[in-house]
Amino acid sequence: MPASPEIEYLKTLVSQLNEKIAALEAKSKGPAAPSPAAQLRTILIGPPGAGKGTQAPRIRDDFCVCHLATGDMLRDQVEKKTPLGIEAKKIMDAGGLVSDDIMVNMIKEQLENNKECKNGFVLDGFPRTVPQAQKLDGMLSARGEKLDSVVQLLIDDQLLISRITGRLIHPASGRSYHKIFHPPKKAGIDDITGEPLIQRSDDNAETLTRRLKTYHTQTGPVVDYYKAKGLWHGIDAAQSPKVVWDNLRSVFTTRK
């Protein structure tokens, strides 16, 4: 028995409704996640005071990636008493150095669970040795990912010492200022929150000279490792923050 015109009309209507629903569902999901070509995975290397604290947040905000400062991450894990934090605290309390595996797993945990890391990351403070760099490569490779670039901020030690001894820090955010080169709008006060700024106890010439010696000893082999991979870019960090930023953007936007 042939279908009545009314049934045929209803079938057509149902088909049109299904098409409309499918279109609305697709639209509600929004644009597709960025492809790896649109993502950024970079490491920022530089001695204390070279400007990592100024540039890393700009990279984070401009490229919509997460800023992974390993020192801050370690303190956060210890404070939150996560399994990794508890393990790290035991080692530190015993006077030991936190293992490379713990540090790499901390980064891996962020990449897996921190939504801000979906488009990539800027890594600050790690790796400091070639074995750490190799473990980081292995972890990323297991995730089907790899580094795009490694940027080193280059600056003369004596200029750094003059920069650092005037440095002011906002503890909660890590924002940094300088009494002469980059003063806050109101002396001693963070521009964003209005909270007080501090000067780190180790921001003095004697301590800094020791830290710079350690930095150069550690960093040389790591830089050579990334140079051999064709990932290294050096930027003159003695220039103004704006010029340094323009050079950084150029590295990130002209990637192969």
Q: Give catalytic residue positions.
A: 52, 128, 167, 200, 211
Helix 100-113 / helix 83-93 crossing angle, nearest 10 deg: 160
Q: Minimal CA–CA distance to 176: which of 149, 166, 186?
A: 166
Kindly tell me the burial class for residue 97, based on how many C-beta atoms sit within 10 Å of its own C-beta (0-12, 13-18, 19 or more): exposed
Q: Minimal CA–CA distance to 153: which of 221, 84, 54, 87?
A: 54
Q: Can you tell me the distance from the alpha carbon of 140 to that of 142, in angstroms, rounded to the nearest whole number? A: 5
Burial 192-219 (b: 16+ CB within 10 A, else e): eeeeebeeeeebeeeebeebbeebeeeb
DSSP annotation string for 110-128? HHHH-GGGTTEEEEES---
